[in-house]
Structure formats: structure tokens, C-alpha cells
Structure 1
Amino acid sequence: MRSAPEILPAGEPPAPAAARIRWLAAPTSSAWLEQAIAHPDLVLLDHAHCERKAAGVALQLLFRYPSDAPLAEALSPLAREELEHFEVVMALLQRRQVALRPLPAPPYGAGLARAVRREEPQRLLDSLLVAGLIEARSHERMALLAQHSPDAELRALYGRLLASEARHFGLYWVLCEQRWPRREVIARLEELAALEASLLAELHPQPRMHS
């Protein structure tokens, strides 16, 4: 399996001990880490919604491209794994007596969705790259929480999920490389990664996994 290209972090220094993550144009800020550590249950609740949304994205692609057998073969198990993660996070929320409830969304997801081109085959390329960017950011932030959270239970949770999160954004890269020239994929990824970083440049007042 080929690895995704590495887009080097730019701008502000990385958060403490942040791993350099392929796909991302800029690292998560120390301010986000401090905010997330100060509101662990709220970030955990948002994490549950993120896992459910990630499963929905994979399923949406399956329904949008019903004749693409390789896409179905790759994304069907991914959707199942995302739902398994949702159940794991839900179980932890229940142990903590945190009820599942809607949360106002930060501009992150909608901003990325607006950048997806509407004509095919560009729409599929952008959809795969956006999904991969979100997974890459999740991986980076879970790694930060696994290392820095003062809550041992949360450190264990995020540490267990790191390998699968890395597989997920790697899978989206492979699906792109199977369909488009590498140069075209890298060029579009750089554009979308710059947008993704800009959406996180100003810290959202309400802590979220992607805020």
C-alpha cells in the first residue's frame, strides 16, 4: 500500500508532542488541547456524533456509487467499524451518565462540504479527500488526548482508536490513487488541506473534536 503524501505543518508551532500527520497542512493548536482537556465529557459526546457521521459518510458513498464494487468492498467494513467505535464511545458516555444529545455544529464540516465540486468525477475525488482529511484530523487529535489527557480512561480509549483512525485515512488515499493520477490527487489534497486548516485557525468557543 502506498502512503499518502506528507503535507508539512505550517504557521504556528505544533501542540505539545504533536505527531506530524500526513494530509494535514497545519497542526492542532495548544489552545484546542487545553480546551478539550477542560471539557472532556463534551468532547467525548461530540466524538460519539463524529463516529456516527463517519459511518454515514461511508454509507452515503456506497449509495451514491452503487456500481463501484471496489468502493463498496472498501467502505462497507469501514462503516461497520465506525459504528463499532460509536458503540464503544456510547458505552463510556453511559458509564459517565452523560446523555446523548444534539450539539450545535462548528463550521468545520459545512465548510469542507461546500468545497466539494458537484460535477463527476471531481465530486467523488473531493468527497474521498474530505473524508480522509477529517479522519486524519481525528487521528491527530486523538493522539494528543491519548498522551495529554489527565483522565486515564480517556487516554486508554483514544489510544485504542489510533490504529484504526490511521487505517481509515490511509484507505481513502488508496481509493483516490486507484482512480486518479497521483499528481492530480496531491494537488487537490493540498487545496483542501489548506482550507481544512483555515477552518480550524480560529478556536471555536464550544469544544468539539473538530473545532
Structure 2
Amino acid sequence: MTVLLESRAARVKWLAAPSSQAWLEQAVARADLVLIDHAHCERKAAGVALQLMFRYPSDESLGAQLSALAREELEHFEQVLALLQRRGIPLKQLPAPAYGSSLMAQVRKAEPQRMLDTFLVAGLIEARSHERMALLAAHSPDAELQALYGELLASEARHFGLYWVLCEQRFGREVTVERLRELAQFEAQALSGSLERPELVRMHSVGIQQA
């Protein structure tokens, strides 16, 4: 099945490059795999928020904001899980792409740079999720999946917006913009290339438009 990618509608300012036509076609063709991976992504996102709460326990405002974020991520996990269960699709483990680990490898070890980089990496992952959900909401032939992804768009945008606010409050706009620009290039590199096998398609598998 061929679907037309509307890159302008899907573009997110955080991202250095939009997703490709190839990724969209692969995701539409293997919608069940992407849905399973989506559930895992929501659970991982909640875990990241909780991990940051424990890493910086003395930052009360951070704890309050990330606690709310973690709860919402888990609500989304439950929502996707319920859809999987209605369809009789087991929540099996899937081999994960190198995307997340390659981004985390760019996080600097010393504080406060570690905090800035971790927030920005988490925000980039949320931004890519938002962009790809927007594509699926617009182009999936499955009405139920269109509705699911469309419903989650506003909250996904809030999530990467929150990480931006956390960075700007603590590090200022200039430092945040400069480091985001660097990490966004790494994010695009992590999604460069071609998928080796169709069954490896994931929410964050390779597939971006080349300049």
C-alpha cells in the first residue's frame, strides 16, 4: 500500500529531519508491531520520568512535574494495552532498535550537563513519537488506530514541551537551543539508513528524509 507523506503537517521544530515515506509505509503495513512497540514506549517514558525524580530528589518542582508526566504516560500505556487486548494481540517483547541507546550515549556524565542532556534526549524522543503518531493518525487505514494516535497528539506535544520548559528554567534559552541543535543532529543520524527486515519496524526504527 502506498500512502503520501505530508511532511509539512508532521514536522516538529525539535527535529532536524522529518520521517520518511518509507517509515510510514512500513509502519502502516505492520501496524500490530508498531502498536506493541508503542505500548513499550509509553511504559519506558514513564520509567524515565520516575528515574529523573529519584535522581534529583531535592528539586521539588521537578518532582511534581515529572510525577504528573509519569502518571499520564502510564495512562497511555494502559490505553494502548487495552486496545491490544481487545484485538487479541499479546504484549510480547520485541527487539528494540538502537535509537534510544544511541541517544543516551550522547548524554554527558558530569552535572549539570547530564541533567540538560537527559531532559533534551527525553524531549527529542517525545518529539519524534509525536511526529510519527501524527503521520499514523493522518494516514493509517485503520479508523481505530487513527483515533488512538490522534487522541494522543496533544499530550505528546505537552510532554516534549515540558522537557523544554524544564531545560529553559534551569539553563536558559541560549544554552538549551545550542545543545538541542547538537543533539537533534545525533537524533537524525540515529534514524538514518534502511530497515533490514520488515518485521523490525518500530515507532523509532530508521527512516528519515535525507537532505
Return the match for 1:42 from 30, 33, 36.
33
Q: What is the rounded CA distance, in whole Å, between the counterparts of 2:121 and 2:56 in structure 1?
A: 17
**Structure 1 unpaired stretches of 5+:** 1-13
RMSD of equivalent CA atoms? 1.1
Q: Of Structure 1 and Structure 2, which has the larger fraction of its residues in helix?
A: 2
How far 1:28 moved relative to its partner?
0.3
How far 1:22 moved relative to its partner?
1.5
What is the CA deviation profile of residues 75-107 of structure 1, one whole-angstrom value per residue up to 9, with x for unaligned ones? 000000000000000000011111011111111
- TM value normalised by structure 1: 0.92
Query: Percent identity among equivalent residues?
Result: 70
- Deviating above 4 A after TM superposition, structure 1's stretches of 4 or more consecutive aligned residues are none
- Contact map agreement 1:146 1:158 (CA 8 A) in 2: yes
SS in 2 for 1:178: helix
Matched letter for residue 179 of structure 2: R
Q: 1:71 matched to which residue of 2?
A: 62
Q: What is the rounded CA distance, in whole Å, between the counterparts of 1:89 and 1:198 in structure 2?
A: 29
Corresponding position: 1:210 with 2:204: yes
What is the CA deviation profile of residues 152-203 of structure 1, one whole-angstrom value per residue up to 9, with x for unaligned ones? 0000000000000000000000000000121111110001000001111113
How far 1:141 moved relative to its partner?
0.2
Q: What is the rounded CA distance, in whole Å, between the counterparts of 2:103 and 2:83 in structure 1?
A: 29
Q: What is the rounded CA distance, in whole Å, between the counterparts of 1:122 and 1:203 in structure 2?
A: 32
Greater relative contact order (CA < 8 Å, ≥ 6 in sequence):
2
Corresponding position: 1:29 with 2:20: yes
**Structure 2 unpaired stretches of 5+:** 206-211
SS in 2 for 1:144: helix
Q: 2:78 matched to which residue of 1?
A: 87
Corresponding position: 1:181 with 2:175: no
Return the match for 2:132 from 141, 145, 148.
141
- Contact map agreement 1:15 1:27 (CA 8 A) in 2: no
How far 1:70 moved relative to its partner?
1.2
Q: Give the paired residue count.
A: 198
- TM value normalised by structure 2: 0.92
SS in 2 for 1:21: coil
Return the match for 2:185 from 179, 190, 194.
194
How far 1:19 moved relative to its partner?
2.3
- Contact map agreement 1:135 1:168 (CA 8 A) in 2: yes
Q: What is the rounded CA distance, in whole Å, between the counterparts of 2:128 and 2:194 in structure 1?
A: 15
Moved more, 201-210 or 103-112: 201-210
Q: What is the rounded CA distance, in whole Å, between the counterparts of 1:100 and 1:68 in structure 2?
A: 35
Q: 2:113 matched to which residue of 1?
A: 122
